[in-house]
Chains A and B, each alone.
Chain A
Amino acid sequence: MINTGIISNTLGVLLLIVGGMMLTALPFSLYFKDGATLSILEASIVTILLGGGSLYYKFKNREKIGKREGYLVVAMGWLSMSLVGMLPYLFSGVLPNLSDAFFESVSGLTTTGASVLNDIEAVPQGILFWRSLTQWIGGMGIIVLTVAIFPLLGIGGVELFVAEAPGPTSDKIHPRIKETAKRLWLIYVGLSTLLTLILYLNGMTFFDAINHGLTTMATGGFSTKNASMAYFSPGIQYWVMLFMFLAGINYTIIYYGLKGKFKKVWSSDEFKTYTLLVGTLILMVTILLYTSTNIPLEQAFRVSSFQIISLITTTGFVSADYTAWTPALTFLFFVLLFIGACAGSTSGGIKIIRHLALFKNSILEFKRLLHPKALIRLKIDKQLVAPRVLTHILVFLLLYLMLFLLGSFIMSFILADFEHPFLTAIGAIATALGNVGPGIGEVGPLNNFAAIPVSGKWFLSFFMLLGRLELFTILILFMPYFWQRN
Chain B
Amino acid sequence: MKIIIAGAGAVGFHLADLLSRENQDITLIDTNEEILEYATTHLDVLTIKGDATSIAILEQVEVEKAKLFLAVTTSETTNLLSAILAKQLGAKKTIARVNNPEYLEKSQVKNFQKLGVDQLISPQQLAAQEIERLLQRCSFTDIFEFEEGKISVVGLTIDNTSPLIGKKIRKIDELNPDFSFKGIAILRNHKTIIPRGNTIIQKGDHLYLVTQNKHIDKATAFVGKQLQTVKHIMIIGGTNLALRTAQLLEDKYAISLVLNDKEIGKKFLEKLQNTLVIIANSSNIDALKEEGLEGMDAFIALTPNSETNIITSLLAEELGVYKTIVLVDNVNYTHISQNIGVDTIINKKLIAANEIFRFVRKGKIQAIASLHGVEAEMIEFLIHKKNRLIKHPIRKLHLPKEAVIAGVIRGEQSIIPDGDFTFELKDKVIVFSLPEAIYRVEQLFK
Binding site for B on A (CB under 8 A): 165, 367, 371, 373-377, 379, 382-384
Q: Would B291 and A371 count as touching, CB distance under 8 A?
A: yes
Given contacts A165-B270, A384-B269, contact A373 B279 (CB under 8 A): yes
Q: Which residues does chain B contribute within 8 Å of A367, judged by CB atoms?
A: 276
A379 touches B273 (CB 8 A): yes
Query: Are A384 and B279 within 8 A (Cβ)?
Result: no
Most chain A beta-carbon contacts within 10 A, residue among B262, B270, B277:
B270
B269 touches A373 (CB 8 A): no
Chain B residue with Cβ nearest A165? B270
Known: A165-B270, A384-B269, A384-B270. A376 touches B276 (CB 8 A): yes
Question: B417 at interface (Cβ–Cβ under 8 A)?
Answer: no
Contact mask B240-274 → A, CB, 8 Å, 1/0? 00000000000000001000001001100110010
- Interchain nearest-CB distance for B193 vs A (Å): 47
Given A367-B276, A374-B291, 20 additional A-B pairs, CB 8 A: A165-B270, A371-B278, A371-B291, A373-B279, A373-B287, A373-B290, A373-B291, A374-B256, A374-B277, A374-B279, A375-B262, A375-B265, A375-B266, A375-B269, A375-B277, A375-B278, A377-B269, A379-B273, A383-B270, A384-B269
Residues in A whose Cβ lies below 8 Å from that of B273: 379, 382
Which residues in B have their C-beta under 8 angstroms from that of A373? 278-280, 287, 290-291
Residues of A within 8 A of B256 (CB): 374
CA distance A165 to B267 in the complex (A): 9
Query: Residue among A371, A374, A383 with the most chain B CB within 10 A?
Result: A374
Contact B276–A371 (Cβ < 8 Å): yes
Enumerate B273-302 residues with CB–CB distance to A below 8 Å: 273, 276-280, 287, 290-291
4 shortest interchain CB distances as A-B pairs: A375-B277, A374-B278, A375-B265, A373-B280
Residues of chain B at interface, number, CB under 8 A: 15
Q: List 5 A-B contacts (CB under 8 A).
A: A373-B278, A373-B280, A374-B278, A375-B262, A375-B269
Q: A residues within 8 A CB of B278?
A: 371, 373-375
Nearest Cβ in chain A — how far from B287, in angstroms?
8
Interface centre among A371, A376, A384 (most CB of B within 10 A): A371
In B205-263, which residues have CB < 8 Å from any A CB? Answer: 256, 262
A71–B265 alpha-carbon span in the complex (Å) = 38
A383–B270 CA distance with the chains assembled, in angstroms: 7
With the chains together, A266 CA to B309 CA distance in Å? 41
Interface residues of B in 34-54 (CB under 8 A from A): none
Give B residues with C-beta under 8 Å from A: 256, 262, 265-266, 269-270, 273, 276-280, 287, 290-291
**Residue of B with least CB distance to A367:** B276
By a CB distance below 8 angstroms, the chain A residues around B276 are: 367, 371, 374, 376
Closest to A164 in B: B270
Q: How far is the CB of A384 from chain B (nearest CB, A)?
A: 5
- Distance (whole angstroms) from the CB of A371 to the closest CB of chain B: 6
Contacts of A382 in B (CB 8 A): 273
Which A residues are CB-close (under 8 A) to B277?
374-376
Q: How far is the CA of A477 from the CA of B334 in the complex (A)?
A: 70
Distance in Å: Cβ of B83 to nearest Cβ of chain A: 29
- Min Cβ gap A364→B in Å is 11
Residue from B256, B273, B278 with most neighbouring chain A CB atoms (10 Å): B278
B279 & A375 in contact (Cβ 8 Å cutoff): yes
Nearest-neighbour CB distance to chain A for B35, whole angstroms, equals 37
B257 to chain A: closest CB distance in Å? 9
A365 to chain B, nearest CB (A): 15
A377 CB contacts on chain B under 8 angstroms: 266, 269
Tell me, in angstroms, the Cα distance from A371 to B257 when the chains sit together: 12
Instruction: Provide the residues of chain A in CB contact with B269, threshold 8 Å.
Output: 375, 377, 384
Q: What chain B residues lie within 8 Å of A383 (beta carbons)?
A: 270
CA distance A165 to B291 in the complex (A): 28
Chain A residues, Cβ within 8 Å of B266: 375, 377
A141 to chain B, nearest CB (A): 35
Name the CB-closest residue of B to A163: B270
B118 CB, nearest partner CB in chain A, Å: 31
**Which chain B residues lie closer than 8 Å to A374 at the CB level?**
256, 276-279, 291
A236 to B260, CA, bound (A): 62
What's the Cα separation between A165 and B279 when bound, in Å?
Answer: 20
**B-side contacts of A371, CB under 8 Å:** 276, 278, 291
CB distance from A265 to the nearest CB of B (A): 19
Q: Which residues of B contact A165 (CB under 8 A)?
A: 270
A278 vs chain B, min Cβ distance (A):
26
A377's nearest neighbour on chain B, judged by CB, is B269
What is the chain B residue whose CB lies nearest that of A374?
B278
Residues in A neighbouring B291, C-beta threshold 8 A: 371, 373-374
Whole-angstrom distance between the Cβ of A482 and the nearest chain B Cβ: 34
Q: How far is the CA of A371 from the CA of B279 in the complex (A)?
A: 10
Alpha-carbon separation in the docked complex, A367 to B274 (Å): 13
Q: How far is the CB of B226 from chain A (nearest CB, A)?
A: 30
A360 CB, nearest partner CB in chain B, Å: 13
B22 to chain A, nearest CB (A): 46
Give A379 to B265 CA distance when docked, in angstroms: 15
In the complex, chain A residues whose CB is within 8 Å of the CB of B265: 375
Task: Tell me the complex Cα distance, A376–B276, Å.
Answer: 7
Provide the residues of chain B in CB contact with A384, threshold 8 Å: 269-270
Q: How far is the CA of A113 from the CA of B124 in the complex (A)?
A: 59
Cα–Cα, bound, A376→B197 (Å): 57
A139 to chain B, nearest CB (A): 35
Kindly name the residue among B262, B269, B287 whose own CB sees the greatest number of chain A CB atoms within 10 A: B269
Name B267's closest neighbour in chain A (CB-CB). Answer: A165
A472 to B278, CA, bound (A): 36
Tell me which residues across on chain A come within 8 A of B270, comparing CB atoms.
165, 383-384
Most chain B CB neighbours (cut-off 10 Å) among A373, A379, A384: A373
